[in-house]
Amino acid sequence: MTQIKRTSITTIFALIGLSFTLYSQTNDLTSSPYSLFGLGVESNSNVGRASGMGFTGISLDANQELNLFNSASFASIPEKKFIFDVGFYTQIENLNNGDENELRFVTSFSNLAMAFNANGKYGIGLSLLPATNVGYSLIGLQSHVEGSSNETYSTDITGSGGLNDVRLDYARPISKNFNLGLRFSYLFGKIEETENALTSTSLLTLETKNYYSGVKFGLGAQYTFWDKNTIGIVLESPSSLSANRDFKTTRTTFTAVTVVDETTEERISNFKLPFKFGLGFNTYYKKFLFAFDYKRNFWDATNQSDEIGEYVDQNIFSFGAEYTKNATSYRYWNRINFRAGFNYDSGNLEIDGKGINSKAVSLGIGFPLDQKGSKINFSYNYKKTGSLEGILIQDHINTININLSLTDFWFEKRKYD
Amino acid sequence: MRIIRILTIVLFPFYILSCSEESEIEKFVVGEEFTNTNVRIIQIDTFSVELSTYKLDSIVTSGSNRLLFGQYTDASLGKVTATPYFELSANSYSISDEAILDSVALILKYDQYFYSDTTQVMHMRFHQLTERVKPDETDFYNTSNLNFAEVPIATKTFYPEPHRDSLHVSIPFNYGNTLFNFISDNVNSTDEFIQEYKGFTLQVDSADNGSVIGFSNQSGSSYLRFFYRLSDDDEDTEYHYDLFITASSDVPKYFNRIQSDVTGLALSTLTDQDYNLASENSNHESYFQSGIGYLTRMNFPSIRKLYDIEGEGTVLNAVLRLKPKSLSYNDNLKLRDTLSLFYVDQNNNVTDQVYNSLGEVTAKIVKNTDGYEDTYYEIPVLEYIDLKLIQAPLIDDALIMYHNDYNKSLDRIIFNDMFENNGAKLILTYAIYDAN
């Protein structure tokens, strides 16, 4: 027993190490031009179960797998249980502006989370996940050199980076059916943009690195009634991320590289994150679990605008279902989870008065790895963002998510010495 | 243990994927309309270019490896004259007592340099100097002068053929024989020889208007040759004895006097090297002439008005186009393909050659012959503009250009300024960028 336990602890730490290695290599890689705006596109990263259920989960528990949507769910981790969750995704993106189609391919880390409930009185979770992703490359944009007869220059703009979210969740049961959770989030990240303007004789490079950091707080509650129904509510404080910028302009000619301009750690205006509100409901019906979420992010009140787009209040509706024949069956196939979901996001941006909404469907499957609740989850998600109206583009995103949720029982006192 | 095995299987492909990242694709333009591109690139060619001409006080012409001879008259630059002065000597002064002189000739090897019209007849006079070929200090200049005997030793009327081998100037027998006998009877050393025969010069008829040509100064190429036989020799074998210009590293044995007559021209006001003749005062022209020492001074007096352009900006490229005056050049009045660039200070002293990381920066000729003639020098001036934008205190410095043969040729270029024929144009490629 001791031997096995030591092995699983080693495994978990090895996993954490490997995850961070991967994380540092893959964090940059979303590829939507929509990530030009603000601090990037909001990350789809989540635990495996949520990815298969249309990113629905405000009312879901964390009995078997973690739920990052509601901090109150950490109170439902069974006593002495330790859950570790790590995931990755691969994304194939098809961009279309009406005239042209482009295919982009991305692989990224999706989350790293661990949580435990030591004595049944409270659950604690620590998680790291990308909050936003920036990744765009606009390459070979041709412009005319003003004042010249026919000279042109070509511009490449690439952006990368994003915000990371390190969260500490603490939740405890207030009564038998009522759990309350608190969340502390530290957001930090770097967003880089490099613009290259290439003329026939020289190259001008503008490199901007914006560093953001800030904190926000969350509050979550879940209430279970009539045994099989739960409602959940989450509130998230608005937040103002402080920002610093490094800026460097370099001129490269055939003969020399000259730094024209360089500033470091210049204070720039804060980026405001909105107050967020979410409501969820789930119910068990026979062997099915049905879950509904509604979220609203109050971007309007942040009074921010981007150069091309406006921030508008964002509404997200999602629905998810899970089918499990018999979670406690001795037959392996009976314990498999089948999931499906749908997600509609009105988007937080309006360009030329048109919202950039997205619709997504997802399918997922969870295979048990052992008797304790460890699982490997696969999910497929198809999402369509934007439209072909005006200057907007349409983004078809196919995502395959692989996620591992490992469970062990710790803190057990040995009965016999 | 099973977990580890599963993990390895599951995570390995991701590790591979994460290393391969995105594949490179040449063009990504979807989403182009979203770009708040921060860079605007404009081309500006309205900054003023100031051209003026100045004249070097003197140019060292000894040690140039060329005897420059000739004369031509140019409407803008006056009459130019090049006349070489040199000392002749030999390695050995022993001539057999039996030697009988046949003939004497001055042989001058063409080194292929010529400028202006070689189809015009030239009149060359070979004079003996009455002064030693010995500089006051260490060098001779284009302005140096030595006295010579008024009566020439020989004269030669000829059409220059710079692509032929050499020019033969016959020396009268009497003069040659006197010299030959003097050597065989009295001379044991060069010192003894040049006591009597101090040196020689080639003079051109003051009415000539043809070309300037170059002769080699090398001992095996140009020489005064004595053809003789030996009286006790059964066969009629011909021998020769040569006097030539000794290659000397320390004391120069030859130089070219290069002068011009600019009477009545705007250039006549240039009496001192730090005086500039603005193109406005010389027919909207500025001049370059090697040998004589006219140089065109180029600067951009209003370049700091770039700062008036709103926003952050930087000059990406700067090219000065200078047009030689049309019809002022042809196959005889050739334009050099490249010229080296130099900085001069407010007193027209050269402070530096213009270099970049690839080496020398040069002005290059661009010839467009499609339809209408459009020939200009393209001069990269980015380094200079960069300097002028940050120079403090601001100095009235400038760019000039010349070539390596500057001290041994008589080329000239007439440039039009910005008010004449669009002659001078500074083309700036300027990027305006937002630091946001």
What DSSP string runs through A53-113? TTS--TT---SSS---S-GGGGGGSPTTEEEEEEEEEEEEEEEE-SS-EEEEEEEEEEEEE
CB contact under 8 A, A376 and B6: yes
Percent of the residues in chain A that have a pLDDT greater than 90, as a whole number:
49
Kindly report whether the peptide bond that precedes residue B393 is cis, defined as omega within 30 degrees of 0.
yes
Predicted confidence (pLDDT) at residue B101 exceeds the cutoff of 80: yes
DSSP B116-132: E-TTS-EEEEEEEBSS-
Out of B4, B30, B38, closest to residue A102 by CB: B30
* B positions 273-312 inside 8 Å of A (CB): 312
CB contact under 8 A, B31 and A141: no
Assign A5 a pLDDT band (cuts: 50, 70, 90): low
Q: Does B389 touch chain A (CB under 8 A)?
A: no
Q: What is the mean pLDDT of chain A?
A: 86
| Nearest-angstrom CA–CA distance, A69 and A183 | 11
The lowest-confidence range among A131-140, B84-93, B278-287 is A131-140
Predicted confidence (pLDDT) at residue A359 exceeds the cutoff of 60: yes
pLDDT digits (tens, 9 = 90+) for B305-317: 998 988 889 999 9
Predicted complex: ipTM over 0.85 = no
CB contact under 8 A, A148 and B4: no
| Nearest-angstrom CA–CA distance, B384 and B367 | 25
| SS3 state at A352 | coil
CB contact under 8 A, A206 and B34: no
CB contact under 8 A, B22 and A105: yes
pLDDT, greater one: A1 or A351: A351
- Which of A15, A170, A182, A143 has the alpha carbon at shortest distance from A85? A15
- Which of A40, A70, A45 has the alpha carbon at shortest distance from A277? A70
Percent of the residues in chain A that have a pLDDT greater than 70, as a whole number:
90
The lowest-confidence range among A129-138, B79-88, B100-109, B353-362 is A129-138
Out of A36, A101, A261, closest to residue B35 by CB: A36
Predicted confidence (pLDDT) at residue A98 exceeds the cutoff of 80: no
Measured in degrees and rounded to the nearest 5, phi and psi for residue B372 equal -120, 155
Most confidently modeled range among A144-153, A300-309, A335-344, A371-380: A335-344
Out of B18, B45, B382, closest to residue A26 by CB: B18
Task: List, in order, residues 6 or more apart from B290 with CB less than 8 Å away.
Answer: B402, B403, B405, B406, B407, B409, B410, B411, B412
Assign A328 a pLDDT band (cuts: 50, 70, 90): confident
CB contact under 8 A, B27 and A139: yes
Which of A109, A194, A255 would best serve as a mutation to test chain B binding (most B beta carbons within 10 A)?
A255
- Contacting residues of B for A199, CB less than 8 Å apart: 41, 316-317, 429
- Contacting residues of B for A374, CB less than 8 Å apart: 3
pLDDT of residue B37: 75
Which of A253, A264, A392 would best serve as a mutation to test chain B binding (most B beta carbons within 10 A)?
A253
Measured in degrees and rounded to the nearest 5, phi and psi for residue A2 equal -60, -40
- Scored b (16 or more CB within 10 A) or e, B153-173 reads bbebeeebebeeebbebebee
Size (chain B), residues: 436
pLDDT digits (tens, 9 = 90+) for A23-54: 444 434 446 777 777 788 777 777 888 889 99
pLDDT of residue A26: 42
| SS3 state at B113 | strand
- Contacting residues of A for B6, CB less than 8 Å apart: 369, 376, 404
CB contact under 8 A, A307 and B317: no
Q: What is the mean pLDDT of chain B?
A: 89
- Contacting residues of A for B1, CB less than 8 Å apart: 7
Nearest chain A CA: its distance from B48 CA (Å)? 16
* B positions 40-79 inside 8 Å of A (CB): 40-45
Mean pLDDT of B351-367: 91
The lowest-confidence range among A162-171, A301-310, B24-33, B154-163 is B24-33
Mean pLDDT of A134-152: 86
Q: Which residue of B has its CA nearest to A104?
A: B22
- Contacting residues of B for A146, CB less than 8 Å apart: 40-43
- % helix, strand, coil for chain B, step of 5: 15, 40, 45
pLDDT of residue B301: 93
Assign B53 a pLDDT band (cuts: 50, 70, 90): very high
Size (chain A), residues: 417
Answer whether B261's CB lies under 8 Å from B44's CB: no
Predicted confidence (pLDDT) at residue B322 exceeds the cutoff of 90: yes
pLDDT of residue A223: 96
CB contact under 8 A, B34 and A139: no
Q: Does B23 touch chain A (CB under 8 A)?
A: yes
- Contacting residues of A for B22, CB less than 8 Å apart: 29, 31, 104-106
Task: List, in order, residues 6 or more apart from A6 with CB less than 8 Å away.
Answer: none
Percent of the residues in chain B that have a pLDDT greater than 90, as a whole number:
75
Encoded tokens for A127:
């998680």
Measured in degrees and rounded to the nearest 5, phi and psi for residue A252 equal -120, 120
Most confidently modeled range among A260-269, B201-210, B235-244: B201-210
pLDDT digits (tens, 9 = 90+) for B390-431: 999 999 999 999 999 999 999 999 999 999 888 899 999 999
Assign A11 a pLDDT band (cuts: 50, 70, 90): low
CB contact under 8 A, B312 and A261: yes
Assign A310 a pLDDT band (cuts: 50, 70, 90): confident
Percent of the residues in chain B that have a pLDDT greater than 70, as a whole number:
91
Mean pLDDT of A327-339: 89
CA-based radius of gyration for chain B = 31
Predicted confidence (pLDDT) at residue B20 exceeds the cutoff of 70: no
pLDDT of residue A31: 60
Predicted confidence (pLDDT) at residue A116 exceeds the cutoff of 80: yes
- Which of A285, A274, A291 has the alpha carbon at shortest distance from A73? A291
pLDDT, greater one: A74 or A2: A74
pLDDT digits (tens, 9 = 90+) for B158-208: 999 999 999 999 999 999 999 999 999 999 999 999 999 999 999 999 999
pLDDT, greater one: A395 or B120: B120
Mean pLDDT of A1-15: 54
pLDDT of residue A111: 85
